Structure 1
Amino acid sequence: MPRTFDRRAIDAPAQIRLLSSPVRQELVDTLAALGGEASVADLAEQLGRPADGLYYHLRVLCRGGLVREVEPVEGDEQRYRLAGTGAAPLRLAYRAGKAGNLAALGRFARSLLRIATRDFEEGLRLEDVVVSGPQRELWTARNKGWLSARDVEEVNRLIERLCELTSQPRAPGRECLMSLAFVLAPIRPRAKRRARSE
């Protein structure tokens, strides 16, 4: 029987590995964006995929305890709901140095960045996308700099606020579905590379 969990603290390598599939990451993210529960038809519409191709991934997510099937009301479509407590989207708990967790988190990050790259490239193709000013919709960047302990705390507060804002479910006045992906990582000095001898 799948264990229950707080969606803000997934740390089981097997569950993290389930999310290394871009399709399953998108299903979980889209369920969260639709308020935590949706029909397969709604998910297919939001993802631009045929509904038949989603059932396999939804069953895998159900077996892994990340999603659960909602008992359909007579005549209704099959619906799925995020498992766990609370209303926030899935979050991962990192256990640095734990081999199984480390490998699973690496696969998850690679998958997440593939999805982000695809979202960005699709955004570039939109003629009406806003690329500057206070209503900007498309942005990618990488910054590298020196932070104090207080700076790190502020960065984390701001990232958490961005996560809250970009995790809100659909509601009147919220018509623009957006994705946000980021990586924050410490950089340790690397050993100098030796010049090749000629």
Structure 2
Amino acid sequence: MSETSNSPYRVIDRAAQIEVLASPIRQEIVDTLAALGGQVSTAELALQLGRHADGLYYHLKVLCKAGLITESAAGEEEARRYALPGEATRALRLAYRTDTTKEKQALRKFARALLKVAQEDFEEALDMPDLAASGDARELWASRSKAWLSREEVMEVNGLLQRLCELMSQPRTAERDRILSCTFVLAPHIARPKRRGAGEAGDADPDCAED
């Protein structure tokens, strides 16, 4: 795990640690600790996650052993408190290394877990009575876009996503009284050959490069 002094988050770059985060509940625990900040009790974590505390202990131990969170010294199980290492307001982020099969497999598992959490968040939010689903202050949004971009535009997209990460890594304050989650995936595509039966000759296939 590495970091820079001016970064709002800590970077995870070891496949073994990424494997530990390839679990929806562990991702939720880490994200919730980052959002709440400071030392958080098991009871408060359970309340925020809508889960029983008994179901969190195993995952908390795994995260502690991997060095992804820290546990405060306490005699009673219920009194134990957890936080992110170092500055508690610095969220965890992954460094994407694809040099080895092990690293790529860890990232695949992590992405599957991340998208599962995002789906659960979205579906749960649909039933909230005070949900803002439109307007400038909307809180629910699922979207997908696919487009051709120049190198400069890719850099602009990365800048916007970086700014989003910074906003989502801010500590809780009196004004920041609404907790939200945000998941995104940016991925390149390879042009595929035209599929058989996709259409008559001359028909455009939006997923393929022109012949």
TM-score strictly above 0.5: yes
Preserved CA contact (<8 Å) 1:8 1:93: no
Show the counterpart of 2:90. Answer: 88
Contact 2:24 2:117 in 1 (8 A): yes
Share of identical aligned residues, percent? 54
Once residues 118 and 106 of structure 1 are traced to their aligned partners in structure 2, the CA distance between those partners, rounded to angstroms, is 19
Pairing 1:104-115 to 2, within 5 Å after superposition:
104-115=106-117
Q: Using the alignment, how far apart are the partners of 1:93 and 1:36 within structure 2?
A: 24
- Give the aligned partner of residue 70 of structure 1: 72
Say if 2:89 and 2:171, in contact at 8 Å, map to a contact too: no
Higher mean C-alpha displacement, 91-100 vs 52-61: 91-100
Shift of 1:165: 1.2
Q: Which has the larger radius of gyration?
A: 2
Q: Distance in 1 between matches of 2:191 and 2:169?
A: 35
SS of the equivalent of 1:9 reads: strand
- Flag the 1:84–1:192 CA change in 2: closer, same or farther, 3 A: farther
Q: Could you list the runs of 5+ residues in structure 1 that have no partner in the other structure?
A: none
Residue 8 (structure 1) aligns with: 10
User: What's the TM-score, normalizing by structure 1?
Assistant: 0.89
Residue 9 of structure 1: how far off its partner (Å): 2.3
Q: Structure 2-normalised TM-score?
A: 0.83
Name the counterpart of 1:188.
190
Q: Deviations over 1:69-111 (max 9, x none)?
A: 112499x921112125684211111112421110110110111
Letter in 1 for 2:168: T
Deviations 1:27-55 (A, max 9, x none): 00001011153111111111011111111
Provide the aligned C-alpha RMSD in A. Answer: 2.1
- Contact (CA 8 Å) 2:89, 2:169: kept in 1 or not? no
For 1:18, give the aligned amino acid: V
* Greater relative contact order (CA < 8 Å, ≥ 6 in sequence): 1
Deviation at 1:189?
A: 1.2
For the pair 1:58 / 2:60, whether they are aligned, the reply is yes
Distance, in Å, in 2 between the alignment partners of 1:87 and 1:149 is 33
1:81-160 alignment, distance < 5 Å: 81-83=83-85, 87-160=89-162
